[in-house]
Structure 1
């Protein structure tokens, strides 16, 4: 049971949906939306969490310019999520404190820290996740996700495939052709300047930014589930597969759901039952279930 979705601050693309049930302490899901994604579509997928009845949901939908080209911008934006994480007790009872030094009374009086799950969609959402991880690190906040679900991420579009971000949902051949022409013209004109700017400020490209956060930052040291399709025209399945293998080789608990014929970030739409069952099983196997 949840309240209405409300914008966190005017002129931002962060939203909150509070769980109306507060006993037991609700867990938290952060939905990181895909590039050019809309809140209404992300909220529809969030029904998976909503129907479970005991989750606060935060929405990150800032997957447009400048966040795709300048991923470090997402770090500042993600600071808008901090008040809610503090309010819901995410940073209570520092996990670095040794349980051996805690008294029985301390343990009895300790409030259960809610689990935080990241549900990430495509490279736009991956940039948001990486930005949040870097923001928490910059603020010296002790934090670790309980689980990360990576839907169609990460994968390099490539310069000549970038137009597919905008044409993937278009059905009119003429409009699609015009979009391809305009997008490629803009890319040819702006790409050198963007590359130069990124080199000057010493920032990683979006894909490297995402992969680094997943593999080398403490906040991402948790089980992760990669969901991807061999038919995905935007993010090549081989790229996701490569990152999943690196994750497993580095010792992270890594699971995969591979489908043959679903489109980009439409795996939940087209294979809802399989998708939800896979996520449920992944969470249960890794102890990421709601405690009563």
Structure 2
């Protein structure tokens, strides 16, 4: 399988995609539907929701692999940029172009609002991608009055819930080791402590975004899925693997078709780099199971 990978070194990051906004890109292949792709029943649309502040050179590796595996599938990429997502209104504005594009595909008849079989494969990364998709689900429900269309999903390194150590680990990575990190450490600890207090009193302050992601993903009134796969690692210091497994158990208890794939040594959102063969086998098998159910 690895031999079919396109070279990402020769590709300018995301240059093959149309930019709808600073946060949303689309790729529409020249050939969308052929007798062969109809027979193979590939995804009509693949939605990729990247992790927080992900660099294009990393995102493009997933996009180009999807182009190789499903060359006739439309791809939508939604980025999560922290500074543009600090409030619900900013986050909705960032996700809006993705919703508008998806609705246009529904209106044009390319996608079905109530498909008998899934036409969309969701692939989301970390808590940033989780927040993007949760916002998309909520926006779709609010604007259309119905849940997001039936789909399959791959959850990479997510969802997480609030933990002092994991939030600290996420923030401290923005500072290189040395004097700058030494100065930043007490500020980050104070900031995370404030977040912890807000989280502890959320019955007053309201639901935090991690708790909202956790809840919505197992809300069957908002999420219509044939099946989902969780890919995560015991070596991940940003999202606790035990939290992922807890969410998976809750999803299974709700009646969702769940697959869990734990990696032992890969770090956060690096499972593909650790074992690409296994990673993409999980992804393709997730879609194949969706079509078989």
**Counterpart for residue 85 of structure 1:** 102
Q: Cα offset for 1:219?
A: 4.3
Could you tell me how far apart the structure 1 residues matched to 2:279 and 2:210 are?
A: 25
Secondary structure at 2:141 match in 1: helix
Could you tell me how far apart the structure 2 residues matched to 1:169 and 1:28 are?
A: 33
Residues 1:275 and 2:287 aligned together: no
**Counterpart for residue 63 of structure 2:** 46
Q: Cα offset for 1:90?
A: 6.9
Secondary structure at 1:286 match in 2: helix
Could you tell me how far apart the structure 2 residues matched to 1:41 and 1:281 are?
A: 23
Q: TM-score, normalised by structure 1?
A: 0.79
Could you tell me how far apart the structure 2 residues matched to 1:198 and 1:14 are?
A: 34
**Counterpart for residue 6 of structure 1:** 18
Q: Is the 8 A contact 1:157 1:235 kept in 2?
A: no
Q: Is the 8 A contact 1:230 1:261 kept in 2?
A: yes
Could you tell me how far apart the structure 2 residues matched to 1:194 and 1:158 are?
A: 10
Q: 2:74 aligns with which of 56, 63, 84?
A: 56
Cα RMSD between the aligned structures? 3.3
Could you tell me how far apart the structure 1 residues matched to 2:250 and 2:289 are?
A: 21
Q: TM-score, normalised by structure 2?
A: 0.79
Q: 1:95 aligns with which of 114, 131, 149?
A: 114
Could you tell me how far apart the structure 2 residues matched to 1:263 and 1:90 are?
A: 41
Q: Cα offset for 1:193?
A: 7.4
**Counterpart for residue 150 of structure 1:** 155
Q: Is the 8 A contact 1:89 1:114 kept in 2?
A: no
Higher mean displacement: 72-81 or 229-238: 72-81
Secondary structure at 1:220 match in 2: coil
Residues 1:162 and 2:172 aligned together: no
Secondary structure at 1:57 match in 2: strand
Q: Is the 8 A contact 1:75 1:134 kept in 2?
A: no
Q: 1:218 to 1:248 in 2, by over 3 A?
A: same
Q: Write the deviation string for residues 187-222 of structure 1: whole angstroms up to 9, x where unpaired.
A: 45677679889945x4x2112211222111434221
Q: Is the 8 A contact 2:23 2:79 kept in 1?
A: yes
**Counterpart for residue 213 of structure 2:** 210
Q: Write the deviation string for residues 212-255 of structure 1: whole angstroms up to 9, x where unpaired.
A: 22111434221111111011111000000000000011100111
Could you tell me how far apart the structure 1 residues matched to 2:198 and 2:160 are?
A: 23
Q: Cα offset for 1:278?
A: 1.3
Could you tell me how far apart the structure 1 residues matched to 2:232 and 2:176 are?
A: 23
Could you tell me how far apart the structure 2 residues matched to 1:48 and 1:163 are?
A: 32
Q: Is the 8 A contact 1:231 1:262 kept in 2?
A: yes
**Counterpart for residue 33 of structure 1:** 50
Could you tell me how far apart the structure 2 residues matched to 1:114 and 1:176 are?
A: 46
Aligned length: 269
Could you tell me how far apart the structure 1 residues matched to 2:199 and 2:218 are?
A: 26
Q: Write the deviation string for residues 62-95 of structure 1: whole angstroms up to 9, x where unpaired.
A: 240353x545643343221133223433774542
Q: Cα offset for 1:31?
A: 1.1
Could you tell me how far apart the structure 2 residues matched to 1:115 and 1:90 are?
A: 15
Q: 1:221 to 1:235 in 2, by over 3 A?
A: same
Q: Cα offset for 1:158?
A: 1.9
Q: Write the deviation string for residues 252-283 of structure 1: whole angstroms up to 9, x where unpaired.
A: 01111111110000001111110001111121
Could you tell me how far apart the structure 1 residues matched to 2:258 and 2:108 are?
A: 26
